[in-house]
Each structure stands twice: as C-alpha cells, then as structure tokens.
Homo-oligomer: A and B are copies of this chain.
Amino acid sequence: MDICQDTPHSAESEEKPMDKIQIGQNFFIPMPVVLVGTQVNGKDNFMTVGWCARANANPPMIACGIGNHHYTPKGIAETKTFSVNIPSSALLEKTDYCGLVSGEKTDKSHVFDVFYGSLKTAPMIRECPVSLECRLVQAVPLPTNTLFIGEITGVYADGRVVKDGKPDFPAIDPVFLTMPDNRYWRLGEHAGDAWSAGKDLVQQSQKRIPKDGE
C-alpha cells in the first residue's frame, strides 16, 4: 500500500462526488451501548444510552448526549452525579428494556442489583462487568438534547474481566447499536493493533524522496 495517490487530484474529482449517494443528515455512527444510572427523587433509575464517548484525557471525563424529554436528566440535575455501566451481551434483554420504558412511569430500581462507590448518589449495576461513577462537570444544552460531561471518579470491574490490572474487552463482551436498522452487535474479530498497524506507512513517508518543488 502506498500512502500517495498515483494520480494527482483533479479539481473535478475533488468537487463532484459522483460515486457517492447523499442519505440525508441523520446518520448515526456505530454506538457502544451503556446504561446511565441516576437517582431521581431518591430512587435508582437506569437508562440505555448510545451517545457516549470520552471527552477529556486528564482528568478523565466522559460525555453522554441525552434527550431533554427523558427522566435521567432530572436525576443528574438533582445529584450532579451519574454512573456509566457497560453491559455485556448476556444483559441484552434488560439493557433493551431500560431503553423501552421511562423511569417516569416505570420503577426500574429493582431491574438490577445496585451498588454504590465513593459518590453516594450514582447507582451502579453489579451485573455489568464495568461501571464508572461520574461527577457532573458541565451540562451543554443543545436544541433537543443535553451533553452531560462527567469526570470519572471511580471505575469498578469484575475480577474476571481484568487482566494484569487492565480491562479485557472480549471478556467484557460489550454491545454496539447501529441505527436506523436498530440492531445490536457484539465485538468482532481482532483487526489489528493501534499505533502499530500504520507503522510501515510512517517509514514509507519518511523515506519518500521529495519531488521537485516540494
């Protein structure tokens, strides 16, 4: 594989994506599925969330985009804390259930076995192989959702999914969601190693003899 295209870019090829189909604006990148835990009116509640990603390296922060009409934002506003729990595929039925019913109408406090860490208001799920407890740092209001940014203050994992002090993802067996086909997926085959698979291309780019005028 060569990192340089054989043919130079033409203005035409850059401006006319003739081979591409436009499919609206509402695209969803593949989503790791988590369960966000809160206390709302003093009762434990859990919501299935697909819009979640790390936001800051140091201190570690995570961001969750949650619809403003949901029940979970009330709990985060009340306690300024929340948890992020990683369900394994064995928990798929309960995970989906938590996305089907709202805590506003249905008591979800007994769906899972709950434990607490240092933060006393961020309920975590014992059945989940990994749970994070988070302290709210910032709530970014957007038109229909709010992005809740939390500092990760503790990570609790099952011993069976920890190898040499680090999380073992095949053992965690996380679930991904794609939309609008609304399908859950498991982790697939190991495809390569990060900060490694592209090393040959780094060497190539360093060896490349500059063309005239470069």
Contact = CB atoms under 8 A, between A and B. Distances in A.
Interface of A: 1, 3-5, 9, 13-17, 19-32, 34, 50-63, 65, 67, 84, 86, 89, 92-101, 106, 110-117, 124, 126, 130-132, 137-138, 140, 142-145, 147, 149, 151-159, 162, 165-169, 174-202, 205
B31 A32 contact: yes
B199 A100 contact: yes
Copies in the complex: 2
Contact of A14 (B55, B114, B138, B147): B114
A159 B58 CA distance: 41
A191 to B, nearest CB: 4
A32 B29 CA distance: 7
A178 B191 CA distance: 11
A149 B156 contact: no
Contacts of A132: 27
Given A52-B53, A195-B100, A20 B156 contact: yes
A111 B53 contact: no
